[in-house]
Structure 1
Amino acid sequence: MSPLIQPQLLRRMNVRRLLEHLQKSGPSTRADLTRRTGSSGPTVSKAIAALLESGLVEEGESHAVALGRPGTVLRLARNAAQVIGVVIDARQCQVVAAGLDGVNHDEAMETFATPRTYSLLIDQLAHAVNRLMRRSARTLSIGISAPGLINRREQKCTFSPNFHVTDGHSPTRDLFERVGVECVLYQETQALCLSERMFGGPESLDDFVVLEISTGLGLGVYSSGRLLEGHSGLAGELGHVTVVPDGRICGCGNRGCLETVATDSSFAQLISEQTGRAVDIKEAVHLIRSGQLESERQLRTTIESLAIAMAAAINIFNPAHLFVHGRLFDAQDGLFELTCELTRRRALAPSLADCHIRRSRFSKAQGATAAAIHALFASFGPTFGE
C-alpha cells in the first residue's frame, strides 16, 4: 500500500462510497451494497456499523431474498438525522428540513419575504433554522443557495446583480455563529446542479448543464463528473454576456445583458409594461393562462432570446443534458417545446445531436438540501474517483 494512503482514509472513503450508493439506489441490503460497490463483505459490514452508530443510516424492514434469511434493508436517515436547506432569493427566502435521502419534510418548512437589510436577513434565517432544529432529528449540515457571484474558496457572496443585500458578506460564517451547525454556500445554479446529479435516480449524469432563468440567468455545469466552478467558484455567469448593446440597464451596471431579455423576471417586466402595473412571473403566468391577457409578442421575444442562451450552453459545453429551471414555460402549452425548436435552429448540429433538453426536475430548496448532503458526504474524504 502506498504510504500516502492511510487505512483511516480508506475507511472513510468506503463510508462515503456506501452513502453515495444509498443516495443513488435507495434502500438496500448489505448484500446489495457489497455487490454494487465491489467491496468485500467485511469491509461493507464495518462501514455500515460505523454509519449505524453515527446515525447517518437507519435499518428498515427485512427484505425477502431467494435463498437464506431475509436481508435487513438499510437506508439513509430520515427520522433521527436531518439536513437543512436555506434558499436566499431576491423576493422570498425559504428554509426547509430534509432527511439524508433528500426528501423534504413538508411540515418542516419556513417561507418569508426577503428582508431589505443583511442583518435582518441573518436574523430571520437564524430564527427559522433554530425552529427546525427543535425537531427530534439531529441537524448535521446546512446548505445555503444564493444568487450572484459566490466565492466558494472564501464562502462569500462577492456580488449579486439582482440582490445587493448580500454583497461582501458570508452567510455561512454568520449563520454558523448563530446556530452552531456547519454551513456551506453554493451559487443557486450550482446547487441545482447538485440536486440533478444527486436526486436524479439511477441514471448517471456526468456531463450536463443547468440554466436557471428565474430572476437572473445563471449557468451550472457538470463536466466529466465534476462541478465546474472556476478559480474562485465564479464560473457560469452567462447572463452577463451583452446581447443588446443599447438595451436595458442590468443589475450589474451594464446594458443589454442576456438576463435582461431571457428570464422570468424580464418577461414579467414586459407584462408589467403591457398592463401598466407591477406584475411578477406568478401573476403573469396566471393572467395568460386564464385568458385575461394576450401576450404572444412578449412571449416570442423572450423565448427567442432564451434560445440564444440555450444554444450557447450547448455549443460551448457539449452536454449530454440541458436542464432549464424557470416558470416562464407555464404560461402557455407547448411553449417549452417551441423554445427547444428555436434552440435547435441556433445550436451546432453535432453538439445538439448528443444533447437532451429538459425542464429542471428540482426546486431551489432541493438544491440547498443537496448542497448540505454533498458537504456532509464530502467530509468523509474524496471518492475513489477523485
Structure 2
Amino acid sequence: MPSPPAETFPANTPAVSQIFVTSLTQGPLTRLELARRAALSPAAVTKAVRPLIEAGYLTESADEESRPTLGRPASLVRVDGGRALFIGVKVTGDEVIGVLTDLCCRVLLARHLLLTDRTPRAVLATLAELTQELLAEAVDLGVQVVGAGVAVSGDVDRTAGMVRYSPFLEWRDVPLAELTAAAMGLPVTVDNDVRALTVAEQWFGAGVGLSDFALVTVGAGIGCGLVVHGRVVAGAHGVAGEIGHVTVDPTGPLCHCGNRGCVEAIAGDAAIVERVRAATGAVVADAGQAAALAHEGVAGAQEAYARAGEAIGRGIATVANLFGPERVIISGEGLAAYDLFAAQIREAFAAAAFGSAAECDVQTRPLPFEEWARGAAATAIQSFIGSGPHQ
C-alpha cells in the first residue's frame, strides 16, 4: 500500500532551509553557533528556527554536559531524526539494494533483491517490490515515508529525472524518476550513483565541513563526485567529474566510451580481469579471483594492479590539478584490493600533481553498497528540504 501523500517541508525562506541544513549536517548547535556558521544574524536564526520547531523538525533542549558553574546550561538546537523517513535505492547490474533511513540519514534497515533482468520494466517491478517491503517496515515504526531516491551509474540528469545512458544497465533515455514515482507512490529523486554518494559524504560523512573535496570510486567503473564551494557539481550536461574517461595512455586499451587509454579502461574491474587473463593464461572469472592471484604473488596479476594504480593516481592528480580540493576520498568496491595498488596510486599522484596540489589529503573510505543506497536517500532528503539539486 503506497504511503499517503508526502507533506511539504516548512522551508518558506532560504534562511529556513539554510538553518535546517546546518543543524542537520553540523549539529547539535546553540543558536549563537548556528548564526555564526550560517552567517546569519541571531534574529534571523530565531525567525528561521521557530517554524521548524513548531513543525517538529527541530528540537531545543539544554546541554547538560556543558553546564557552566553558574547559570543555566546552553540550549542546543538539533534535528529530530524520527520526524520523517526516506527510502534510498542503489541499482547495480545484478541487484537492487534498498535502505530505509530517518531524517538524519541513519540507516534503519536494508534489503537486497536480485536482478535477473536489466530491462527498465523488470527493474521497475523489482523497485516496486522492494519499496513495498520497506514501506511495510515503516508502518510498524509509525512514521511516514516522505520521499525516495534512486541511484544509477552513468549519465543521469537529476533535474529531468532521466537516465541518459547507463552502460552497466544498457539503458538510454529512460525517464526513471517519473516511472519510479508511479511505481513507488512517492516523490522520487534520481541521480548518478557517485554523485548521490558524494551528497551523503558531504552532509553526513568524510566531507562534512569541507568547501572543496572529491570522491573517487574504484571498482566496476571509475567515478568521481566533485564538491566545489560547497556545491555538488553536475556540470552543464550532467557529466562533471568523469575521471574514468580521462585519457592517461593514448596507446592503451580501448574503452567502452570509444577512446583509448581511459583510466577506466585500465583500472576498472573488467579491465584488470582481462589483463590478468592475458598475462597469466589463467581462467579468471572476476575481480576477486584476479586479486587472489595477485596476492599469491603471480607476476602478471601483480603487474595488472600496479598499472591500474598508476592510472588511478594520474586520474586523481588531474582532479587535484584542475580544482585543488582539500581532500580526495577514495572509495568503492575496488578497495577490497587496495593493498595491491596503493603504493602505485600514491607514487603516480605525487609525480603528476602540480605544486601545492600534491598537498591534497588523499584518504580511503570503504563503503559497502548499502552506503550507496544511503546516498540515494540523502538526495531524497536534500530534495525534500529544498536545498537541491546541485549546480
Instruction: Give the TM-score category using the shorter length.
Output: 0.7 to 0.9
Equivalent residue in structure 2 for 1:81, among 72, 84, 97: 84
Kept after mapping to 2: 8 A contact 1:210/1:360: no
The more displaced of 68-77 and 262-271 is 68-77
Aligned mates of 1:229, 1:37 — CA distance in 2:
24
Equivalent residue in structure 1 for 2:213, among 205, 208, 211: 208
Equivalent residue in structure 1 for 2:274, among 253, 269, 276: 269
Matching residue of 2:198: 193
Task: For residue 147 of structure 1, report the CA deviation from its aligned partner.
Answer: 0.9
| 1:263–1:331 CA distance, 2 compared to 1 (3 A) | same
Matching residue of 1:224: 229
Do structure 1's residue 307 and structure 2's residue 313 form an aligned pair? yes
SS in 1 for 2:149: strand
Kept after mapping to 1: 8 A contact 2:83/2:103: no
Kept after mapping to 2: 8 A contact 1:114/1:121: no
- The one-letter code matched in structure 2 to 1:345 is A
Matching residue of 2:4: none
Equivalent residue in structure 2 for 1:99, among 99, 102, 111: 102
Equivalent residue in structure 2 for 1:234, among 239, 243, 247: 239
Task: For residue 239 of structure 1, report the CA deviation from its aligned partner.
Answer: 2.0
With structure 2 as the length reference, what TM-score do the two structures score?
0.81
Matching residue of 2:129: 127
SS in 2 for 1:115: coil
Task: For residue 287 of structure 1, report the CA deviation from its aligned partner.
Answer: 5.6
Report 1:361-372 matches (<5 A).
362=367, 363-372=371-380
Aligned mates of 1:133, 1:305 — CA distance in 2:
43
Kept after mapping to 2: 8 A contact 1:155/1:172: yes
Matching residue of 1:168: 173
Aligned mates of 1:339, 1:202 — CA distance in 2:
21
With structure 1 as the length reference, what TM-score do the two structures score?
0.82
Matching residue of 1:112: 114
- The one-letter code matched in structure 2 to 1:140 is V
SS in 1 for 2:81: coil
Task: For residue 185 of structure 1, report the CA deviation from its aligned partner.
Answer: 1.7
- The one-letter code matched in structure 2 to 1:87 is K
| 1:318–1:42 CA distance, 2 compared to 1 (3 A) | closer
Matching residue of 1:15: 16
What is the count of residue pairs matched by the alignment? 371
- The one-letter code matched in structure 1 to 2:92 is D
Aligned mates of 2:248, 2:338 — CA distance in 1:
25
Aligned mates of 1:342, 1:263 — CA distance in 2:
17
Equivalent residue in structure 2 for 1:341, among 326, 340, 347: 347
Aligned mates of 2:304, 2:99 — CA distance in 1:
35
- The one-letter code matched in structure 1 to 2:107 is N
Equivalent residue in structure 2 for 1:151, among 149, 152, 157: 157
Aligned mates of 1:277, 1:75 — CA distance in 2:
55
Kept after mapping to 1: 8 A contact 2:163/2:172: yes
| 1:260–1:75 CA distance, 2 compared to 1 (3 A) | same
The more displaced of 294-303 and 247-256 is 247-256
Matching residue of 1:359: 364
Matching residue of 1:373: 381
Aligned mates of 1:83, 1:130 — CA distance in 2:
13
Kept after mapping to 2: 8 A contact 1:85/1:96: yes
Structure 1 residues without counterparts, runs of 5 or longer: 1-8
Do structure 1's residue 138 and structure 2's residue 144 form an aligned pair? yes
Task: For residue 283 of structure 1, report the CA deviation from its aligned partner.
Answer: 4.6
Matching residue of 1:5: none
| 1:188–1:178 CA distance, 2 compared to 1 (3 A) | same
The more displaced of 25-34 and 214-223 is 25-34
SS in 2 for 1:261: helix
> Percent same amino acid at aligned positions?
26
Task: For residue 125 of structure 1, report the CA deviation from its aligned partner.
Answer: 1.0
- The one-letter code matched in structure 1 to 2:267 is A
Aligned mates of 1:365, 1:10 — CA distance in 2:
26
Matching residue of 1:4: none
Task: For residue 149 of structure 1, report the CA deviation from its aligned partner.
Answer: 1.0
Matching residue of 1:182: 187
| 1:96–1:285 CA distance, 2 compared to 1 (3 A) | farther
Equivalent residue in structure 2 for 1:320, among 313, 326, 341: 326
Aligned mates of 1:319, 1:10 — CA distance in 2:
31
Structure 1 residues 205-234: Cα deviation after superposition (integer angstroms, max 9, x where no partner): 111122222222222222222222211322
